[in-house]
Structure 1
Amino acid sequence: MSPSDATADAVSAPAPDVGTGTCPAPAGDGIAEGAARSTGRSTDREDTLDLRLPDEFLALFDTGQPRSDDTDTGPDSGTGHKGWQQSWGDSTAPASTITPADGDLLDGVAEWGPITTQVGVFQLVPVRVERDLPLVCRWMNDPAVSAFWELAGPQNVTEDHLRSQPADDGRSVPCLGVLEGVPMSYWEIYRADLDPLARHYPARPHDTGIHLLIGAVTHRGRGLGSTLLRAVADLVLDRRSACARVVAEPDLRNIPSVTAFLNAGFRFSAEVDLPAKRAALMIRDRSLRDLL
């Protein structure tokens, strides 16, 4: 297997999405570690109390979208795709997420829209718990994923993780990655400068972090990881004019994951000690996006 093929799916990032980093990546189709654990977002809620913004301020970010419809059906129990596509594809269904006031601090991820990549049309669709929980939970219980994200178990484990992010004032938006109409990956787009991660590196205002895991087994080992990472990093820079850098923090020992970020135009910046791992700080600079 070529280096690019081996690293294509090893993407997820720090320890919220791009877990922990205590386990090395599984051989072959490794899914990079989830970042929530290493940054402490999920395990130490007191870390972010000083970052909470008043409701009056958050109201300024209200996108005016309708709230989610709790009656939407979840993913089809057979393929995991049919029921999801029917729900999302319904033009009458709200496109809302679980973020507060239907807004976020990331310039409206829900409104970023689809992008065309060399592997097909791709879109980040903010998670709707009532619709997407069974699918995300199934991915989290994949041994290759749970080794880094540590979210294996009953649905309430995954649900608590998903719902904890809106409680952080919209600084992190969990999304499904939808490729050619099929949900095949899980992403977290987050404000790295407002995250505990900022305590461990010289953060700049509006630094935006990425966590990613390739959830569908059929999409692993196909070289998709680096392609989608580059596309999403470009999307962040295109949609967030105030953001000059996209960052990620894969486990330093996870060579496939680090290589995937390098292949996606990120540069290795430094080694950083996070609560649950020693990470490779990866950065995609706006100023260098056309050179890497």
Structure 2
Amino acid sequence: MSSSDGTADAVSALAPDIGTGTCAAPAGDGIAEGADRSADWSPDQEDTLDLRLPDELLALFETEQPRSDDTDTDTVTGTDPDPNPDADSGTGHGRRQQSWGDTTAPASSLTPADGGLLDGVAEWGPITTPVGAFQLVPVCVERDLPLVCRWMNDPAVSAFWELAGPQNVTEDHLRSQLADDGRSVPCLGVLEGAPMSYWEIYRADLDPLARHYPARPHDTGIHLLIGAVTHRGRGLGSTLLRAVADLVLDRRSACVRVVAEPDLRNIPSVTAFLNAGFRFSAEVDLPAKRAALMIRDRALSDLL
């Protein structure tokens, strides 16, 4: 799963740009990864592996297929949004104008199979944030590919996501997630009705990442990238990361931790997570990068 994330004041992350198409759906933002560093782990009980495997994980052992995106490279481009996002944020594309608050789009092979593994991301609905109404809208390839591809070709994003190139590069990445079993849901982040970021919400305990850290059942991961340059560098990344982490913990009662693995070199992204209430847990060596494992604990939510 490719990921890159950015900070509240200068973050570079995985973000989709909304393009043309016929699906009606909402939008989101992205982050990074690492590898096994068991010697670096503290005996702190918060990082102790729960050895009781969830039923869905046991079931997956029988049908598990290697994922084409076994490496993560996310980047968050953190910034405070302009209340009136420019055209680069995209408000409607394709053969007809799209309403990004509309989550009633008909099911199709081009929308994510978000079953029970993530408790229906598409149904989470909008939330109120300090920067306006925000909603995660599952990606529709027909509609969103041009926008996401444009974001992926931004040098600040491609440095960590490594998905620059023609549309088929981005399309392959999106389709590999949409064709999966619902362990990852790619979304556009829609702020005040305009798509401005790309997100991937995923089951970290069922992801290849779980091979590299002491995963717990229902750990939920976040990858994020801010799309439009005008939205970067002003703290927006931290604000939205905090809001989405709260949203995950609110909508997923079985989840006790939200995790992320930004590239260790992406200082703005790591800073954005810290500012959003995540704690630095360890350095991990992932297949495509050395990452900072960031954790947001449900038990500490009331204190943040």
Smaller-chain TM-score bracket: 0.7 to 0.9
* Counterpart-to-counterpart distance in 1, 2:208 and 2:280: 20
Q: Residue 209 of structure 1 contacts residue 246 of structure 1 at CA under 8 Å; is this kept in 2?
A: yes
* Counterpart-to-counterpart distance in 2, 1:278 and 1:91: 39
Q: Residue 52 of structure 1 contacts residue 169 of structure 1 at CA under 8 Å; is this kept in 2?
A: no
User: How far is 1:8 from its partner?
Assistant: 3.3
Is it true that 1:112 corresponds to 2:124 in the alignment? yes
User: How far is 1:99 from its partner?
Assistant: 1.9
Q: How does 1:183-194 map to 2 (within 5 A)?
A: 183-194=195-206
CA, structure 1 residues 92+240, in 2 after alignment: closer, same or farther (shift >3 Å)? closer
Match of 1:288 among 271, 291, 300: 300
* Counterpart-to-counterpart distance in 1, 2:101 and 2:268: 38
User: How far is 1:7 from its partner?
Assistant: 3.8
What is the identity percentage for the equivalent residue pairs of Structure 1 and Structure 2?
A: 79
CA, structure 1 residues 214+78, in 2 after alignment: closer, same or farther (shift >3 Å)? closer
Partner-residue secondary structure (3-state), 2:225: strand
Q: How does 1:239-254 map to 2 (within 5 A)?
A: 239-254=251-266
User: How far is 1:81 from its partner?
Assistant: 2.2
How many residues matched?
Answer: 239
CA, structure 1 residues 276+265, in 2 after alignment: closer, same or farther (shift >3 Å)? same
* Counterpart-to-counterpart distance in 2, 1:53 and 1:122: 38
User: How far is 1:263 from its partner?
Assistant: 0.3
Corresponding position of 1:130 = 142
* Counterpart-to-counterpart distance in 1, 2:103 and 2:138: 17
Corresponding position of 1:88 = 99
Q: After superposition, what is the alpha-carbon deviation per residue over 1:61-94, rounded to whole angstroms, capped at 9, x for unaligned?
A: xxxxxxxxxxxxxxxx987323379323586961
Q: Residue 53 of structure 1 contacts residue 169 of structure 1 at CA under 8 Å; is this kept in 2?
A: no
* Counterpart-to-counterpart distance in 1, 2:271 and 2:182: 30
User: How far is 1:53 from its partner?
Assistant: 7.3
Partner-residue secondary structure (3-state), 1:272: strand
Question: Please, which runs of 5 or more residues in structure 1 have no aligned partner?
Answer: 19-31, 40-47, 55-76
CA, structure 1 residues 38+152, in 2 after alignment: closer, same or farther (shift >3 Å)? farther
Q: Residue 151 of structure 2 contacts residue 227 of structure 2 at CA under 8 Å; is this kept in 1?
A: yes
User: How far is 1:51 from its partner?
Assistant: 3.5
Match of 1:98 among 71, 96, 111: 111
* Counterpart-to-counterpart distance in 2, 1:258 and 1:81: 29
* Counterpart-to-counterpart distance in 2, 1:115 and 1:269: 28
* Counterpart-to-counterpart distance in 1, 2:300 and 2:143: 38
Corresponding position of 2:169 = 157
Corresponding position of 1:10 = 11
CA, structure 1 residues 272+88, in 2 after alignment: closer, same or farther (shift >3 Å)? same
* Counterpart-to-counterpart distance in 2, 1:33 and 1:178: 13
Match of 1:269 among 281, 294, 301: 281
Moved more, 276-285 or 203-212: 276-285
Is it true that 1:202 corresponds to 2:206 in the alignment? no
* Counterpart-to-counterpart distance in 1, 2:103 and 2:272: 38
* Counterpart-to-counterpart distance in 1, 2:149 and 2:224: 15
CA, structure 1 residues 204+90, in 2 after alignment: closer, same or farther (shift >3 Å)? closer
Partner-residue secondary structure (3-state), 1:230: helix
Letter in 1 for 2:155: P
Where has structure 1 moved over 6 Å in runs of 4 or more?
none
Corresponding position of 1:145 = 157
TM-score by length of 2: 0.71
More helix by share: 1
Q: Residue 196 of structure 2 contacts residue 228 of structure 2 at CA under 8 Å; is this kept in 1?
A: yes
CA RMSD of aligned residues (A): 3.0
Partner-residue secondary structure (3-state), 1:177: strand
Q: After superposition, what is the alpha-carbon deviation per residue over 1:116-160, rounded to whole angstroms, capped at 9, x for unaligned?
A: 000000000000000000100000011111111011111111011
Letter in 1 for 2:9: A
* Counterpart-to-counterpart distance in 2, 1:246 and 1:92: 24
TM-score by length of 1: 0.74
* Counterpart-to-counterpart distance in 2, 1:6 and 1:206: 26
